[in-house]
Amino acid sequence: MKISQILRITPGVTALIGGGGKTTLMYKLAEELSAFGTVIVCTTTKIYEPDDTPVLTGKTYEEIVSALKSRRIICVGTKIASGKLSAPAVSFDSLRKLADYIIVEADGAHGLPIKAHADYEPVIPAETNKTVLVIGADAFGQPIAEVCHRPELFSMIACVDMRSAVTPQIIGRVITSEGYGDCLLINKAEDDKAKENAAVLARMLKIPVTAGSLKREEYTCLH
């Protein structure tokens, strides 16, 4: 099955939060969902401009409508000084009326596989109908300080030292404490050890959990 089917992505706004892998997932979902309707990818934080997807930085509905007549996938955002894109000028309530699917990267993690959330994160649009939490299995066994965005906060929530190695139990404590996400995708779970850790983590959580590899397009629904 395709990841959009496994995660049960429906028309409307889908928010992606958590650690590294969100951008890959965003464009993977966009590619799959474009077979069923038009797709807008965007962010509420900051993303790099895509290389092979048209980018609209204007403020008018007409530009978006016109672009979606010729392309199934477009990226909408506002250019900022760093050269990245920030949130669109058009509201999410309006965007969901212009395209069938809105996939929004609603979190930042500096490319690291896990993170803890500051009190102003994640930035999930009110119109969101599903929030997918993403973590990278490459965090397992590594020191929190080396693989985590906001390691001090993460360690505090998990009640461990930043030098501690990441375990399923530690990640499970943080995910449960924060309470973000309608489902969890554990990306880069490609070898037996990673899959074993993913299964342990899944048993700790009440939300649906999928483990696998976006790169290989191999997935297992753990519950």
pLDDT digits (tens, 9 = 90+) for 135-173: 999 999 999 999 999 999 999 999 999 999 999 999 999
Residue-level pLDDT at 59: 73
Residue-level pLDDT at 76: 97
How many other β-carbons are positioned within 10 Å of the β-carbon of residue 122?
Answer: 22
pLDDT digits (tens, 9 = 90+) for 67-122: 999 999 999 999 998 889 999 999 999 999 999 999 999 999 999 999 999 999 99
- How would CATH label the architecture of 11-221? 3-Layer(aba) Sandwich (3.40)
pTM for this prediction: 0.97
Domain coordinates in residue numbering, the chain: 11-221
List beta partners, residue 89: none
How far is residue 89 from each of residues 50, 94, 114, 123, 148, measured CA to CA in Å?
18, 10, 29, 15, 31
pLDDT digits (tens, 9 = 90+) for 16-52: 999 989 999 999 999 999 999 999 999 999 999 999 9
